[in-house]
Amino acid sequence: MYKRQAHSLGLRSDGTVVAWGRNTYGECTVPSPNSDFIAIQAGTCYSIGLKSDGSIVAWGMGSRCILPSDNQGFVAIASSGDATLGLRSDSSISAWGQGAVVRGYGWEGIDYDVSEVPSPNDDFIAIAMGGGHAMGLKANGSIVCWGLNNYGQCDVPHTNSGFIAIAAGEYHSIGLRSNGSMVIWGLNNFGQTSTPYSNYGFSDVSAAGWYSIGLK
């Protein structure tokens, strides 16, 4: 299941998608055929789904649903706000869309753009999208971040190695190391980057707007 602001998506075991909530721009109207989905993501006023054939389907606000012309070979998707990432089977990342105006915390009027993936664009094994920044995990265990960096959410810690999973919140980033510990950086207004006292034994991480989650 994936929720973004005012609408939610659910992926059933039969490959169909269920959507509910605000439907102002058709973000809850799943296009036909509603089948063969293997992953889903919800953006602001739009939704995207990854099909088993490696193609992406998007629905909702028109300008945010424009997909790459080479819409094939995708193995993972990530979205947030108005931007989307797609991880391809050749380990490269495609990024499209541009962030809306960032509001709050004295940053009103700041735009971001994640469409330019840092070079070299290869050897990626995982992707994540924050409120205005993007993350990519490399096969060698290092993390690449780009986009909005107003709170240091793109400043990967100096020892940039040994990571096995990533997650992104609104203005913070998480890296899970192979030793089961979490490294978190960025805005900490609600303690979202304050790692637990017992920072060990984690097998997965996740993040939402202003908080972080670790699975032991």
Neighbours of 116 (CB within 10 A): 11
pLDDT in tens, 153-199: 999 999 999 999 999 999 999 999 999 999 999 999 999 999 989 99
pLDDT in tens, 42-83: 988 999 999 999 999 999 998 788 999 999 999 999 998 778
Three-class DSSP category at 14 = coil
The pair of three-digit structure tokens given for residue 209, joined into one six-digit string: 């707007």
Neighbours of 128 (CB within 10 A): 26
- According to DSSP, the β-strands at 124-129 and 17-21 are unpaired
CB neighbour class for 73 (10 Å; exposed up to 12, middle 13-18, buried from 19): middle
pLDDT in tens, 94-148: 998 765 444 444 445 556 678 889 999 999 999 999 988 999 999 999 999 998 8
Domains of the chain, earliest start first:
1-71 (no CATH), 73-216 (2.130.10.30)
- Say what the pLDDT of residue 102 is: 43
The one-character DSSP state at 102 is B
Beta bridge partners of 11: 17
Instruction: Report if pTM > 0.85.
Output: yes
Sign (positive or negative) of CA dihedral 33, 35, 39, 43? positive
Read off the pLDDT of each residue in 86-92 and give the average, rounded to a whole number: 98
